[in-house]
Amino acid sequence: MIDIAFRVDASLEIGTGHVMRCLTLATALREHHAARCCFLCRELPGHLIARIEAEGFEVLRLAAPAADHTSTLSQVIDKPVHAAWLGVCWSQDARESVDLLASLTPDWLVVDHYALDARWESAVLPSGTRLLVIDDLADRKHIADLLLDQNLGRLAEDYADLVPASCQLMIGPDYALLRPEFAEWRQPSLERRDRRPGLSQLLISLGGVDKDNVTTEVLRALRDAELPRTCRITVVMGATAPWIEAVKREAETLEQPTEVVTNVSDMARRMAEADLAIGAAGSTSWERCCLGLPTLMLVLAENQRDIAAALEEAGAAIRLDSRALGDDISLVLARVMDARYLAGVSESAARLVDGEGVKRLIAALAL
C-alpha cells in the first residue's frame, strides 16, 4: 500500500482552502490508488481537524501554540512572509513533525503551507520519501521533487532559483485541484448558461472563514444596489466562520429572497445553478471557472492580488473595489444585467479550467 503524509493547516488566519485541496487529493488517492493518507495538522484557532477525520483520514495533531509564541517567532531570522501562520517557529514544527512521521515512512510527503520552506523540508523529509510542494506564491526555496502552482499568470521561470533543477513543475490552472463533482457538473452548467442567460440566481461565497466579515459589507451594498427583487441570493459560509450570525441578520434586511447556508456538501451544484457569483480571488476561483460561473471578485488577502489581476486580464472575472464597495457593485451590476456581457465572461472563465487537475497530478506522482 502507498503511504502519503500531508503537512497542512487551517485557521482563522490561513483560511480553509489549503486543507480542502489536500483533502481533494487525498480522497482521490484513496479511492483510485488505495493509498493510505495521513494528515499532520496544528491545533490552531479555526482548524479543520474534525472535518478531516470525518472524511475518514487519520490526523496526527501538533499542539496549539503556547501563549507567548509571538515573541519566539519574532526571533526567527530570514523567515517566510507568512511565518506567523505556523503558530510556532519552523524548527519547533520540524522537530514535532519528525517525531510524528517516525512511524509512518511515507512514500510521499505533501506540504501545502506558506510558512514552510526548504529549511523545514530538509529537517523533516524522511530518507527515501519524495516531496510534493503545493504553492501559490513562488517566494521561498524548496527541495521538492514535484511542485504544483495552479495559478493563472504563474510561469515556470518564477521557480527557477527556488527549486532543484530536477524538480518537476506543474504550473497553471490545468492543475487546479478540484473535487470530481466540478468536472461532473461542468457540461450541465455550461449548457444551462447557453439556454438561459441572465441574472436570477446570485451566489455569495467569500471563503470558508471571512474573518473580516466582508460578507456583511457585500449584503449591505446589495441592499442599496439595483438588483432585481426576484433575484434569489444564496450566501455560503464555512462552519468555522466567526460572523455567521451577523451575516444572517443582514440577510434578513434584503428585499430579495436570501438564504445563508454553512458547510455545504453540494457546492458544485450550487455554482452550476447560479448565474453570477460574488467571491474572493482565492482557490475557489478555479471551481467557478470550471463551471463557467461569472464572478464579481474581491481581493481579501495580499496573496490574491496576482490571481485577481490575471483573471481580470483574461476576461474571466470582474474585480470589485473593496474600498468603495457600495458604489462599485451598483456600477458593475448595471453591466452584468446585459446577458451577452455575462455570457462572454462565462466563456472566458470556462476556457481556463476543465476540472481534471487532480488526475494530472496523480499521473505525475507515478503511483
Q: What is the CATH number for 147?
A: 3.40.50.11190
- Any domain includes 114: yes
* CATH number assigned to the domain comprising residue 210: 3.40.50.2000
Domains held by the chain: number: 2
- 104 and 202 housed in the same domain: no
Nearest partner of 188 among 279, 267, 271, 264, judged by Cα: 271
- Any domain includes 238: yes
Parent domain of 110: 3-171
32-71 pLDDT tens trace: 889 999 999 999 999 999 999 999 999 999 999 987 655 5
CA–CA dist 197, 11 (Å, integer): 38
92-145 pLDDT tens trace: 999 999 999 998 989 999 999 999 999 999 999 999 999 999 999 999 999 999
3-state secondary structure of 39: strand
The yes-or-no verdict on residue 210 having pLDDT over 60 is: yes
The yes-or-no verdict on residue 74 having pLDDT over 70 is: no
- Any domain includes 216: yes
Give pTM, 2 decimals. 0.92
**In the prediction, which pLDDT does 132 show?**
98
**In the prediction, which pLDDT does 96 show?**
97
- 153 and 221 housed in the same domain: no
Beta strands in 66-191 (DSSP E): 108-112, 130-134, 146-149, 168-171
- Among residues 171, 194, 220, the one where a domain terminates is 171
- 222 and 137 housed in the same domain: no
What residues form DSSP beta bridges with 259? 234
The yes-or-no verdict on residue 327 having pLDDT over 80 is: no
Question: Cβ atoms within 10 A of the Cβ of 105, count?
Answer: 12
**In the prediction, which pLDDT does 130 show?**
98
Q: Report how far apart, in Å, the C-alpha atoms of 296 and of each of 31, 153, 218, 276 are.
A: 35, 19, 11, 8
- Any domain includes 196: yes
261-320 pLDDT tens trace: 998 989 999 999 999 999 999 889 999 999 999 999 999 888 889 999 999 999 999 998
The yes-or-no verdict on residue 148 having pLDDT over 80 is: yes
**In the prediction, which pLDDT does 36 show?**
96
DSSP letter string, 114-146: TT--HHHHHHHPPTT-EEEEE-S---S----SE
- 7 and 154 housed in the same domain: yes
Give CA angle at 173 (152, 342), nearest 5°. Answer: 75
- 314 and 187 housed in the same domain: yes
- Any domain includes 363: no
